[in-house]
């Protein structure tokens, strides 16, 4: 893979985005009531690829929809007819602009569970047909801690293209994967300038250093991971979860939470099966027929949440089930922060 970095300016970047939107199925952060959600866009004016991290929802719904019809059935006197549903609206070739680093990373994390053993082929297709274009944050959000976790935020290849606003006022566009490289080649009409590679690398590094220095939250991930692994019986889980109202917002908004439920509905003779988001914070999540529930109380469910994210997933798949985006903390109605939860339990 070549490592060409293109150099342009703010106006050039706008042109770059416009060229992408005009010739591709493009998704980008679109503002609604102060929050940005990734939506299909037709014009650059509709969206803001540099939306603030604190206000931007994750791209998860573009790969794992909130609720999807997966089957329809018709029952007649002749028997039951099962129809697998409709074409996948998310399967086409598409570009996503303005993906934050944490969000891009979340896909690599989800790959592990969705693509082991049985493959989630719909997810796989959506993933294969998508080019991820990432604009690096200039500044960390209030609840961000991506740089404290087990991945290399600076050099990650989770995005196909990386866009960096240099402190010299220039904009650097760099391919991080072969898919990104190929995509850049297709955009020949833009005639992007190739600058001095060395100074480009220096500017990108400078921007990263300033970004990394802006974090309020820092943790020693390895230490927390090791300690938590031995704290299954910690009474601290009761304290950290005491305020939780089990609304599940954290799980629905989390870019790496991937648990789902399968539910069937029936109206007269036609039935529908849905696959929708679910959360381990739900009291009924592990409730079995007959009433037995291994996690009947809140602290056990919170223990599962914290341990799954910081211990179990790592044990099983080698990566952390948290990308440090802080979305759960921002959205929590009672201000529970996963960062504080794991630190408090680990250091109690």
Partner 1 sequence: MEQLLVPTLCKIDQIIQETPDIRTYRLKFKDDSLMEKYTWLPGQFVEFSLIGHGECTFCISSSSTRKGYFDCSVKKAGTVTSDIHNNLDEGDEIGIRGPYGNWFPLEDIKGKNLLFVGGGIGLAPLRSLIQYCVDNRNDYKNFTILYGARTSSDLCYKEEIKEWQENKSLKVILTIDKSEETWKDNVGVVPKILEEVVKPTVENTKVITCGPPIMIKYTLLSLDKLGFAPKDVITTLEMKMQCGLGKCGRCNIGSTYVCKDGPVFTYEQLKALPDEF
> What residue ranges bind partner 1 (CB under 8 A)?
68, 70-71, 73, 75, 79-80, 82, 84-85, 88, 113-114, 116-123, 232-233, 258-266, 271, 273, 275, 278, 280, 285-292, 294-295, 300, 304, 307-308, 311-313, 315-316
Q: CB of 198: closest distance to partner 1 in angstroms?
A: 44
- In this complex, which beta carbon is closest to partner 1, that of residue 283 or of residue 333? 283
Q: CB of 280: closest distance to partner 1 in angstroms?
A: 7
- In this complex, which beta carbon is closest to partner 1, that of residue 176 or of residue 314? 314
Q: CB of 90: closest distance to partner 1 in angstroms?
A: 11
- In this complex, which beta carbon is closest to partner 1, that of residue 212 or of residue 259? 259
Measured CA distances, 13 to 8, 61, 97, 170, 244 (Å)? 7, 26, 12, 10, 43
Q: CB of 159: closest distance to partner 1 in angstroms?
A: 24
- In this complex, which beta carbon is closest to partner 1, that of residue 85 or of residue 142? 85
Q: CB of 294: closest distance to partner 1 in angstroms?
A: 5
Q: CB of 125: closest distance to partner 1 in angstroms?
A: 10
- In this complex, which beta carbon is closest to partner 1, that of residue 14 or of residue 125? 125
- In this complex, which beta carbon is closest to partner 1, that of residue 286 or of residue 331? 286
- In this complex, which beta carbon is closest to partner 1, that of residue 19 or of residue 287? 287
């Amino acid at each position: 893979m070549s490592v060409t970095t293109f150099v342009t300016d703010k106006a050039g970047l706008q042109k770059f985005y416009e060229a992408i939107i005009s010739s591709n199925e493009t998704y980008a952060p679109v503002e609604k009531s102060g929050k940005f959600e990734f939506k299909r866009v037709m014009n650059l004016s509709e969206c803001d690829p540099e939306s603030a991290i604190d206000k931007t929802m994750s791209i998860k719904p573009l790969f794992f929809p909130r609720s999807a019809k997966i089957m329809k059935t018709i029952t007649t006197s002749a028997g039951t007819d099962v129809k697998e549903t409709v074409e996948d609206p998310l399967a086409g070739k598409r570009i996503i602009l303005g993906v934050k680093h944490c969000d891009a990373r979340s896909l690599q994390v989800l790959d592990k569970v969705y693509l082991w053993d049985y493959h989630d082929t719909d997810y796989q297709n959506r993933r294969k047909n998508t080019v991820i274009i990432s604009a690096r944050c200039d500044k960390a959000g209030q609840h961000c801690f991506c740089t404290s976790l087990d991945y290399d935020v600076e050099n990650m290849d989770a995005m196909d293209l990386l866009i960096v606003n240099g402190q010299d006022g220039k904009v650097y566009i760099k391919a991080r994967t072969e898919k990104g490289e190929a995509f850049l080649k297709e955009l020949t009409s833009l005639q992007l300038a190739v600058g001095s590679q060395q100074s480009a690398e220096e500017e990108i590094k400078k921007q990263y250093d300033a970004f990394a220095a802006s974090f309020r939250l820092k943790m020693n991930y390895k230490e927390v991971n090791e300690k938590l692994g031995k704290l299954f019986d910690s009474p601290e889980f009761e304290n950290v979860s005491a305020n939780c109202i089990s609304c599940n917002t954290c799980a629905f908004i989390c870019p790496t939470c991937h648990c789902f439920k399968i539910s069937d509905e029936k109206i007269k003779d036609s039935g529908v099966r849905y696959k929708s988001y679910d959360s381990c914070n739900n009291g009924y999540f592990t409730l079995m027929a007959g009433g037995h529930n291994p996690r009947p109380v809140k602290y056990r469910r919170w223990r599962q949440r914290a341990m799954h994210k910081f211990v179990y997933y790592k044990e099983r798949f080698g990566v952390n089930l948290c990308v440090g985006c802080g979305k759960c903390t921002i959205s929590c109605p009672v201000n529970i922060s996963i960062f504080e939860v794991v630190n408090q339990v680990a250091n109690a």
